[in-house]
Amino acid sequence: MSPTPWRTHKYRPGAACFAGPAAGAATAAGTRDLARTTALGLGYGVVLWAVLAVLVMPVWLQAVGFGGAPSVPTVSVPSLVGHVVYGAVTGVVYAALD
């Protein structure tokens, strides 16, 4: 098996770690209210899932010739749940850092 899927999952969260707080800081306008940052985090998780997991990852895996690449779009409820939980936790932690 090719290590390509592991590389994909290795670099994608790195980009997400920088984009999330930047988007949260810009959108929240300095407000670190728990409800607001959690809601922003939930939205961030959904956007990450829709763009990266549903569209970008399958296209990327097909582009590098991975034999088990999923079709585009790849809609997976467990993946959505994981990204939403990640976004919610990011929002809660962002509020706690105030």
Contacts 24+ apart (CB under 8 A), 11-14: 12/52, 12/57
DSSP, residue by residue, 9-50:
HHHHHHHHHHHHHHHHHHHHTT---HHHHHHHHHHHHHHHII
Where are the chain's structural domains?
Answer: 4-96
What pLDDT shows up at residue 43? Answer: 92
The predicted pLDDT at position 54 comes to 92
Predicted pLDDT of residue 78: 93
Q: Which DSSP helix (H) or strand (E) runs through 98? A: none
pLDDT of 70 reads 86
**What's residue 80's pLDDT?**
94
Rounded distance between C-alpha atoms, residue 11 and residue 73, angstroms: 20
Q: Which position has the token pair 């991975």?
A: 66
pLDDT of the residue at 60: 86
Low-confidence ranges of the chain (pLDDT < 50): 1
